[in-house]
Amino acid sequence: MTTLSRREREFAARERCILDHARELVREVGFLNLQMAELARRAEYATGTLYHHFRCKEDILFRLASEGIELRSQFFERVARWDACSRDRMAGMGYADWLLVNAHPDHFRIEQLAKAVDIWDRATPEVREAMMNKGEGCGNAILSVVSDAISEGDLEPGTRSPQQVSFSFWTMSSGTHTVTHAAGILERFEMRDPYVILARNYQVMLNGLRWKPLQDAEDDTALYAFFDRLHAEVFPDHQPAHRSHRDVSGDTQ
Amino acid sequence: MTTLSRREREFAARERCILDHARELVREVGFLNLQMAELARRAEYATGTLYHHFRCKEDILFRLASEGIELRSQFFERVARWDACSRDRMAGMGYADWLLVNAHPDHFRIEQLAKAVDIWDRATPEVREAMMNKGEGCGNAILSVVSDAISEGDLEPGTRSPQQVSFSFWTMSSGTHTVTHAAGILERFEMRDPYVILARNYQVMLNGLRWKPLQDAEDDTALYAFFDRLHAEVFPDHQPAHRSHRDVSGDTQ
DNA sequence: TGGTTAAATGAATCACGTTCAAATATAGAA
DNA sequence: TTCTATATTTGAACGTGATTCATTTAACCA
């Protein structure tokens, strides 16, 4: 039993090692340029060994994507459990996404590529399924906030299902990632700080939904105060994604 | 001169032929599974001939993406020129996107893949540049509506630049495409008609921005009346993206 | 018609993911 | 400790498919 368990530990450690090197390689050269032979060389195993852990190259990508999604899920769940009003917790989801981009700048690329139909089809169904299960955590965290808002009377459900409300915020976040990471678009559009705009958009959307307490979506002082509070209370163990408001105020000169 | 021009015409015709077959192949098997040899066979040219027109496989994808983006640009410009209030024209952008998805169901996949960094880096800079130039038309069409709204007094600019306002709607549309096309997500989330939700989200966002005239974002009758009017006045030459409201009403039974 | 240039061709090249027969290591029995 | 059976690792060989380029073919003009 000890023996078996030691074997299992070694196996897991090797897998970890491969995934770490893979992540690094993806960051350096991109997934399509990642060569299995080079990955094996860096991890100091033979090419064939990789295939004991992963059925194909795409499965490695999906495993990396899963890790990022799991992290996001954890971020979202922290925010969902935050001791704050439902509106602030929903607004916090946008910030959590920003935090994830800071912590794993390459995660979005990985997830984007994994979800591109072309790659999607090449991965093993089980590995895809595992990734989607991690994703469910994100969806549930957001849904729980919407449900709370309705039951606490902060949000009139109207003709919208909680899923539809979640979907709205989800599309804003997802779209912000896409547009932000598409090379050259922000520069051409003279945009900076897209995630601050995302946070503002959350406020605009929340107001549009009449999600109480209503708030002035133009008030940057309040927005940065919100960032500060959220960060201090929910993510004290992470680097803040935003600069302090004082820095931003002095920005124009 | 006549000779040269005929040559040029033949060259252009061949390129058209290759692109058409490529689009079909991409639809059938996806871009990564598209084989240059098979494309050559279908277009009835030799493999080498393809490389007189496109420097690499990725350039073909970018040319296809450019065509879709150009079409979107045309759709957006139609809406921007629509004789309607600024709010309706902005709301119309969401509908135009929906129309594009109907007309070219495969376009989003192509554009998504082209913009994935991995593929992006492989294409020829000139071809990428050409694609981005087409995209500028979309941005300008939206910007013009925002500008009109401000100058007509429908929208208080506040602390937001017109670019930032455009960005907000852009992220919603882009995110809706992404989430909608990611396999399995909608089913798991029990979502249907994502583009109707997008249209509603446009209204919520417009209300949140206090973009006049304010409107009840829950009023589906008004929304479908809007679809009908927009479609009749701007896109009479296209199949409507939406079903008639009568159909939708009878949907539940 | 013949000479010259431009274009098309597709077999050969090369790169890379994947496989699998052989080599090696491990565990347990004697 | 030594031997045998089993499990694991290895990397050279294979197959697929993008790209190239020497050769062939067509177009043009004198």
pLDDT per residue over A100-150, tens digit each?
Answer: 999 999 999 999 999 999 999 999 999 999 999 999 999 999 999 999 999
- Mean pLDDT across chain A, nearest whole number? 93
pLDDT bucket at A8, cuts 50 / 70 / 90: confident
d(C-alpha B52, C-alpha B46), whole Å = 11
Report if CB A56 to strand C is under 7 Å.
yes
Task: Say yes or no to pLDDT of A251 above 50.
Answer: no
Query: Taking CA B197 as the corner, what is the angle to CA B194 and CA B200, rounded to the nearest 5 degrees?
Result: 160
pLDDT value at residue B1: 39
CA A182 to chain centre: 17
pLDDT value at residue B246: 60
Cβ contacts of A161 on chain B, cutoff 8 Å = 190
- Name, in order, each residue with C-beta under 8 angstroms of A237's C-beta and a sequence gap of 6 or more: none
* Contact of A208 with B204, CB cutoff 8 Å: yes
pLDDT value at residue B188: 84
Calculate how close chain B gets to A7, using CA atoms only, in Å.
36
pLDDT value at residue B249: 53
pLDDT value at residue A248: 58
Residues of A (188-227) whose Cβ lies below 8 Å from B: 188-191, 194, 197-198, 200-201, 203-209, 217-218, 220
Cβ contacts of B200 on chain A, cutoff 8 Å = 160, 164
- DSSP string of chain B, one letter each residue: -HHHHHHHHHHHHHHHHHHHHHHHHHHHH-STT--HHHHHHHHTS-HHHHHHH-SSHHHHHHHHHHHHHHHHHHHHHHHHHSSS-HHHHHHHHHHHHHHHHHH-TTHHHHHHHHHSHHHHTTS-HHHHHHHHHHHHHHHHHHHHHHHHHHHTTSS--TT--HHHHHHHHHHHHHHHHHHHHSTTHHHHTT---HHHHHHHHHHHHHHHTT-SSP--TT-HHHHHHHHHHHHHHH-TTS--SSPPHHHHHTT--
> Using CA of residue B134, residue B139, residue B140, residue B144, what is the dihedral sign?
positive
Report the share of chain A in percent with pLDDT over 70.
94
Task: Say yes or no to pLDDT of A57 above 70.
Answer: yes
**Which amino acid would we find at residue A142?**
I
pLDDT value at residue A107: 96
User: Is residue A152 within 8 angstroms of chain B, CB to CB?
Assistant: no
Mean pLDDT, rounded, for A60-72: 98
pLDDT bucket at A185, cuts 50 / 70 / 90: confident
pLDDT value at residue A3: 43
pLDDT bucket at A9, cuts 50 / 70 / 90: confident
CA A215 to chain centre: 26
- CB contact under 8 Å between B171 and A198, yes or no, is yes
pLDDT value at residue A221: 95
pLDDT value at residue B23: 97
Mean pLDDT, rounded, for A174-195: 90
* Contact of A19 with A60, CB cutoff 8 Å: yes
d(C-alpha B80, C-alpha B218), whole Å = 25
* Contact of A123 with A59, CB cutoff 8 Å: yes
Distances (CA, A) of B241 to A80, A185, B77, B182, B230: 36, 28, 18, 20, 11
Cβ contacts of B201 on chain A, cutoff 8 Å = 168, 171, 205
Q: Which parts of chain B sit beneath pLDDT 70?
A: 1-5, 245-253
Identify which of B181, B199, B194 has the alpha carbon closest to the alpha carbon of residue B112.
B181
- Name, in order, each residue with C-beta under 8 angstroms of B42's C-beta and a sequence gap of 6 or more: B21, B24, B25
Task: Say yes or no to pLDDT of A157 above 80.
Answer: yes
d(C-alpha B180, C-alpha B194), whole Å = 7
Query: Six-digit token pair at B249?
Result: 């009403």
Between the CA of A123 and the C1' of C8, what is the distance in angstroms? Answer: 39
Identify which of B142, B134, B101, B197 has the alpha carbon closest to the alpha carbon of residue A172.
B197
Higher pLDDT, B64 or A250: B64
d(C-alpha A232, C-alpha A19), whole Å = 32
- Name, in order, each residue with C-beta under 8 angstroms of B81's C-beta and a sequence gap of 6 or more: none
> Which helix H or strand E contains A83, and what residues bound it?
none
- CB contact under 8 Å between B171 and A168, yes or no, is no
pTM of the model: 0.93
Between the CA of A55 and the C1' of D4, what is the distance in angstroms? Answer: 32
Interface test with B, best of A122, A159, A167, A203 (most B CBs within 10 A): A167
Nucleotide nearest to B6 (CA to C1'): D27
